[in-house]
Amino acid sequence: MKISKALFAINARAYLLITSAKVVHMKSAIRFSSQVSAAIAAGKPVVALESTIISHGLPRPSNLAVALECEEIVLSHGAVPATIALLDGIVHVGLEQAELEAIANRDDISKASIRDLAIIVASGKSAATTVAATAHIAAVAGIKVFATGGLGGVHRGAQDSFDESADLTALSQLDMTVVCAGVKSILDVHATLERLETLAIGLVGYRTNRFPGFYLTDSGFELEHRVENAKEIAAIIKARTSIGTQFKSLVVANPVHKEMNRELHDQILASGLAKADLEGINGKAVTPFLLEYFHTASKGESLSINTEIIKSNCALAAEIAVALL
């Protein structure tokens, strides 16, 4: 028994050494902005922000304006924003002004999940990062809190297409706290919640007992756990480390303050899904297609709600990052 414990301890130390070496090597492939680099060195709170919402989720020119406002919101709440993207084969954690403008305005910005990262880096191309890719890069960079709009999940009809977002797999393997407005209402919310449970991804509602559905405050499903403030969330994050469950992410579901008219939402969703099917749109192209369809069909209402979602999540994420100190 003593020998087994000794071998376990040796193997654990070896694993940690190997893992640490890999992380150091991966960090060398990342370029940090001056602001983020200084914050990490000083031990200040940092919040990761995704870039797909800038390049593919919001129309120009409001996308750049919202991105700048989100960064300012994080700063105003005491944390440092680290928008993550790939530009010309380089992984950026934190974007300078010109780089943020490039992500917002260039036409050669693709959409990258984790599996695409090495290919894009090796080919010297550029891409905005999805929730999965952003969370992965943030974790490598040592950032623990991440604000996004809506989480990806199980798509409708996945029992036939097997279409499930890589967000779920990534969050089942990363030490990350993700603040979001639930999952996008275009998904199969029930199936997504089941997958979150199966993958042991933590889930709490921020001042709500109902799971939000992006444009809607209530997707129709109840939440088991509720928190009232950033300090409670920080306590959960610290407890996860003490009991060894930090290698699964924690999702903080923060409902939008003013939801879309439900009847209008359901009408647009039904017609949007039918149009996507008719035009053969599938995979990761579905989300940006439907977001744009919502924007057009709702005459801008969905865009306004989407903007408020990301702003609110940035503020809460920054409060959590500060509470962790």
With beta carbons less than 8 A apart as the criterion, state whether 217 and 172 touch: no
pLDDT of residue 186: 80
- Provide DSSP, 154-217: BPTTHHHH--B-HHHHHHTTS--EEEESBB-TTS-HHHHHHHHHHTT-EEEEES-SEEEETTEE
Q: Which residue has the higher pLDDT, 25 or 77?
A: 77
What residues are labeled active site? 50, 184
Q: pLDDT category, 10, cuts 50, 70, 90?
A: very low
Confidence grade of residue 25 (pLDDT, cut at 50, 70, 90): very low
232 token code pair: 């409670």
Answer yes or no: is pLDDT of 22 > 50: no
Q: What is the pLDDT of residue 284?
A: 63
The CATH code of domain 33-323 reads 3.40.1790.10
Question: Does 202 score more than 60 pLDDT?
Answer: yes
214 pLDDT more than 70: yes
> pLDDT digits over 102-124, tens only?
999 999 999 999 999 999 999 99
Q: Quick one: pLDDT band at residue 6, thresholds 50, 70, 90?
A: very low
User: Percent of the chain scored above 90 by pLDDT?
Assistant: 75
User: Are the beta carbons of 59 and 295 closer than 8 angstroms?
Assistant: yes
- Mean pLDDT across the chain: 89
Give tens-digit pLDDT for 217-276.
999 999 999 999 999 999 999 999 999 999 999 999 999 999 999 999 999 999 998 998
Q: What average pLDDT does range 304-319 have in this prediction?
A: 96
Residue 172 has pLDDT above 60, yes or no: yes
Q: Is the pLDDT of residue 296 over 80?
A: yes
